Structure 1
């Protein structure tokens, strides 16, 4: 698109180029001066030291004033850019982002939720950010925005996507063993496509099992294909015999629906041996209808069959 309003990209890049340009000029100037002095005042040309004045007031004034003005100009330019990054346009689309170990959830005003951040091209988007457990940090390099996600505190960023495309979104604050897997994308869509996406699937309760696993962060620690991760795999879950520690005592359990639901709401009640106790409780954190959808999916035939080995 052309003739778009101001973007956060411009706010950051202009300051970066200004500071980089001044730093480059200073580097060249200082290096050139050093070379000239080394050649001009080489000891072979001047074997005997020459007397020099102890100080020059005008020189002291110049090399104090000029660097001060340069630093002040950097500060002013950076402050102007910072204010633009905090001044959200009044017509901005509002999205709520929640970080958890180890995934992101994005919620829209009409009730739509997604593990990806969908935005319309050319429109400002305000993302309110919070965390369910530990410190995270929402970072979108393409739009030059980054902000910490803090439990109990709401922070925010805003940006405007200048063109359609898929852009990386990372967690930039170390948050545990699967920090590097806490990635997703920003999907910038033309306004018509975004409106259609936002209208489709308005009710979060109708989202199917795999999407709920991603949305609530389950897929960050549990696999669906039998591969090893931080937590036990979901493949072949129903009817599996597991060795657990319950109230300090070891015992064997057969996985059923009640065990699956209890493990979601009270993950430390029956801890599977060989896995760390890092899963947070979802008691009061997940709607009852979504909880039942998750239990239904985890106990469904789709996950009950373990493929035979080669």
Structure 2
């Protein structure tokens, strides 16, 4: 259940909220003040009371006052915003590093032990540093309850950090329009007790060793799909999403658009490899071109082999 009470959700809540209240209070004060003065002068100097215009000479003191005071207030507001921004960039040395990857249209989170999830799991009362990486277009990590937002620019690595003092689930959004399924690019942060997090994050080698080969293959392949965000656009049950389903993808012919022409090809292992490395050369009829980036320098040959084995199991059912 998503937590709605954000008090103490992160160490930035109080600072950001107080800055907002300060700026909003100043804005409201001047809005009311200027409106009241304007209405007073409209009534006081209306045409029926002041038919002949009166020449009013300048007032140097007044000019200085309404220049200096707003300047001081703007500088104070800038300081509050700048100091908060600097604090969010200065992560503690003992913060837990989590690689946060954004792609069309999903987030994935990779921990120090190699575990990859599409949900962000963090311990309570422990600093967490998110290493932000955008793999395709501009994204923006936004956790409203934590008062945390940071653009993710392709080719530029950046970080944000936080420490949550309250257990619960909190929503994550992409706050930068990133294409067709931008509104579906959501996840959650789950804040749990330190011991529970350590238990969750522990790799159980004995359990892994006892898994049968078929299950191990599926787990490995599904981990690869989560790692690269494939499930944001493809399904394993045959339903249509942004891209074709994995189900029955191998050993069957399909119509693709290549160089503007419709051609029929056999979906074999080479086709899978081409679809991952050059996804916009042969686009399955009925799907849009240009929505998938090339993973040539990211997906390894071993990973492709594991994916092909997984697709074979889906195609044999």
- Decide: shared fold, TM above 0.5: yes
Query: Taking structure 2 as the reference length, what is the TM-score of the superposition?
Result: 0.83
CA distance in 2 between counterparts of 1:291 and 1:22 reads 58
Question: Is the partner of 1:177 in helix, strand or coil?
Answer: coil
Return the alpha-carbon distance in structure 2 between the equivalents of residues 23 and 65 of structure 1.
Answer: 16
280, 290, 294: which one aligns with 1:281: 294
TM-score when normalising by structure 1: 0.85
1:26 is matched with 30
1:61 alignment partner in structure 2: 64
Contact 1:237–1:304 at 8 Å: present in 2 too?
Answer: no
1:42/1:245 Cα in 2 relative to 1: closer, same or farther (>3 Å)?
A: closer
Q: State the 1:304 CA deviation.
A: 4.7
- RMSD after superposition: 2.9
Q: Which runs of 5+ in 1 are unaligned?
A: 306-310
Q: Which runs of 5+ in 2 are unaligned?
A: 1-6, 209-215
Q: After TM superposition, list the pairs within 5 Å mapping 1:217-228 onto structure 2.
A: 217-228=229-240
Distance 2:169 2:308 in 1: 32
Q: Judge conservation of contact 2:123–2:191 (CA < 8 Å) in 1.
A: yes
- Kindly indicate whether residue 296 of structure 2 is the aligned counterpart of residue 290 of structure 1: no
Structure-2 change in CA distance of 1:114 and 1:49 (3 Å): same
Secondary structure of the structure 2 residue equivalent to 1:70: helix
- State the match for 1:148 in structure 2: 151
Question: Is residue 171 from structure 1 mapped to residue 174 from structure 2 by the alignment?
Answer: yes
Query: CA-to-partner distance for each residue in 1:20-41, whole Å, 9 max, x for gaps?
Result: 0111111111122222222333
Match of 1:51 in 2: 54
Distance change in 2, residues 1:6/1:282 (3 Å)? closer
Kept in 2: contact 1:201–1:207 (CA 8 A)? no
Aligned residue number for residue 200 of structure 1:
203
**2:252 paired with 1:235:** no
Greater shift after overlay, 273-282 or 158-167? 273-282
Contact 2:151 2:176 in 1 (8 A): yes
Q: Residues 237-272 of structure 1: CA distance to partner in whole angstroms, max 9, x if unpaired?
A: 233321134677654234344433443344345432
SS of the residue 1:138 aligns to: strand
Q: Give the corresponding residue for 1:308.
A: none
Partner residue in 2 for 1:128: 131
Residue 96 (str. 1) matches residue 79 (str. 2): no
Specify which of 289, 300, 307 is matched with residue 313 of structure 2: 300
